[in-house]
Every structure is written in structure tokens, then in C-alpha cells.
Structure 1
């Protein structure tokens, strides 16, 4: 089984349009390196739009045997560090990432 990671790269996420000072390409490279080093345990993909632009950058993690976890505002190295640690170590999501957890678009009122 794998952990699936989907990174939004649509109009707001992954572009300098909304967050001009963030290294979007570097973020994607970090996740690509992690996925490559995981021996197939982590699968990375990009999506054109996850319909959560107000929370950009959005990353969705689907851990093995669990429901997807939607994370928003993934715009800082500390958040990426926590995300990487979670994907490498497995186990429960780090408490610090709860601050970035968002509801999927279909569940928003």
C-alpha cells in the first residue's frame, strides 16, 4: 500500500500569482525527492485545481487505509518539514499540521 500525495498546481497554488515570495518549484522538488526515495511507498501527483484556492497552497495526503487529509496554506518550510516527517515516518499526522487542516470543498458549507 502507498501514501498518495496530491499537490494543487492550478491558478493560485503553485504559481507566483498569489504568493510571489514562495518557492513553489522548490516545494514540488522536495516532494519529488521524498517520493523517489520512498521506494514506491509514497506516490506524488499534481492536480490542476483542487477547488480550494482560498487555502492555497493545498496538499492532499491519502495515508494508507485512511481518509484523505486536506492541508491548506502549505507555504512555509516548517510546514513542509512536518509534512515530510509524516510521510517518511508514517504514523499519525503531526499535531502541528492540524493548524493547516482544511475541509475538502464538498464538505464546506
Structure 2
């Protein structure tokens, strides 16, 4: 486990984070954001998967926090966060994931401002 990455009791990782970095997210279209630093900060704490376009470009930059096994057992679903364009929001995400994330720790009020429900994609039942 990389330095700084904190696991839950028993050595399990609390959550996983998906970072959109394609069409609009992570591009110069979203100005004033150090995209590489944001990804590096998240990677220092939790497993991060870089994704192609998640089809919610109007919410760039998008980060999805996936619940841990304990969170899923509690009925949690992934939490989609949009317009994550400042370091404070990234730090709030890191703190929430450290606390357990979806289904384990309540979504902080400040992150509730970033949360959104993604539209259903065509072709899904």
C-alpha cells in the first residue's frame, strides 16, 4: 500500500475513487485547476481509477466515490460529485473517504453541494 494510503481496520481499503479525465474533465476546458495534482492527492490516500468520459461533461471535473464492502453491505451506492474544481473540495473528499465514505460516514454538508445524480444512459434497462 503506498505511503499515506490508509486502510480500514483489518487492512481493507475503505473506498475506491473514479476520476473522469477525458473529454472535458481534466482538460484545459476547466481552467484554473491543477488536474495532475488533484489526481496525485487522491492517489496518495485511496485507490484511484482514471476513467474515460463519464458523459456528464456539464459537471466537469467529476469524481465518483464508490463504497467499501461495509458501505455496500449497508446499502450505499456510488456518490457522484461534480464541479470538483478546487483543492478544498479534493481535501474534503479525502477526509470523507478516510472516515469510511458512502454507507459508513455521512456525506459532509459541503460535499452535498457537489453531489448529483447522473442521468441514465440510453440502452440501459
Q: Could you say whether these structures have the same fold, taking a TM-score greater than 0.5 normalized by the shorter chain as the test?
A: yes
State the aligned residue count: 99
TM-score by length of 1: 0.84
For structure 2, the 5+ residue unaligned runs are 1-11
Aligned pairs (5 A) from 1:1-109: 2=13, 3-16=15-28, 18-35=29-46, 43-64=47-68, 65=72, 66-90=76-100, 91-106=105-120
* Bigger radius of gyration: 2
Question: How far apart are 1:19 and its partner, in Å?
Answer: 1.5
Q: Structure 1 residue runs of 4+, over 3 Å off?
A: none
State the TM-score, normalized to the length of structure 2. 0.74
Residue 77 of structure 1, CA deviation? 1.4
SS at match of 1:105: coil
